Structure 1
Amino acid sequence: MPIDTEAQFTDVYRAHYGDVLRFVRRRADPMTVDDIVGETFLAAWRRRRELPDDPRPWLFGTARKLMLNAHRGLRRQSALVVQIQRAAAADGHESMADVAIQVEGRIDLVAAWRSLAPADQEVLALNVWEQLDARDAAKVLGCTRAAYAMRLTRAKRRLAGRLNPAAPASPALSLTH
């Protein structure tokens, strides 16, 4: 979708600024968020004639690369907030036992999330928080759709294993002749 005018770029900016901002806020140090978002749209302006019809995955991919550059040499810290189930009771009233179970579950989920490698966190976040389909998430990560699907499956398994370490491991594949 080549962009020829400033007005066309302004439309793209307005349509995607909020998504890019949220995407970066979840991942970057708060002190660098505005710079990364600004640099993302500067890159989009410079490449405006080459933008795809749906620029959202391209913008996410560009923002991701800028964040990686900003954090080169340092392990990225997770800035995602783990959100789990809403009120357990249909009537909105919860007993203290229900609240305790929810708190314990949140603590377990946060601990499991933090124990994941940053690559697993990113794959899961693109699926859950950004709600990208496999094709678009693969574009963000710069890999094939099949590679993304495999990474997502493996990340889900690792998260599930950390949430329930007593669960039996999936049976190994056996070769038959």
Structure 2
Amino acid sequence: MPIDTEAQFTDVYRAHYEDVLRFVRRRAHPMNVDDIVGETFLAAWRRRRELPENPRPWLFGAARNVMLNANRGMRRQAALVVHIQQAAATADVDDPAVDATAEVDSRIDLVAAWRSLPPADQEVLALHVWEELDARDAATVLGCTRAAYAMRLTRAKRRLAGRLSPTAPASSVLSLTH
């Protein structure tokens, strides 16, 4: 059932919106329902010429995929937090020249600062630090220009540094941002 006009799509939307909404409400957090339904119908609009005669199952499948993608994103976010916590727990206590208490404190500050960053800043920093992507490749991942990525990275580093306590040594920021 290829959809060629906006009016045809509107008819499909009106016919199936409530069903998709109920489907998502039973499976997703209430805070995410509207976004998931919106993304589902956006996918339907983009693939409107490929929709089957009965689009309802296709819409349910698309909604399921949107939910799975959202869950993967949340798991990746949680994994980054765990990775930072593990990094914070590995202070070098064997080196007598290193004040272990200060090192642990600075790493705890870093974890708290990381958690307070917006997800977009965390993503930019993670691509730089953990994925070790150069600016061109990271920009490709984010779907932006290299210059835009470089600006986002610079701003994210500044926000991270600004959230660290004023007594935190600069070395703790640099060790996790290079």
- In the superposition, the TM-score normalised over structure 2's length comes to 0.46
Larger relative helix fraction: 2
* Relative contact order, higher structure (CA 8 A, sep 6+): 1
Q: Tell me the TM-score normalised to structure 1 length.
A: 0.46
Larger radius of gyration: 2
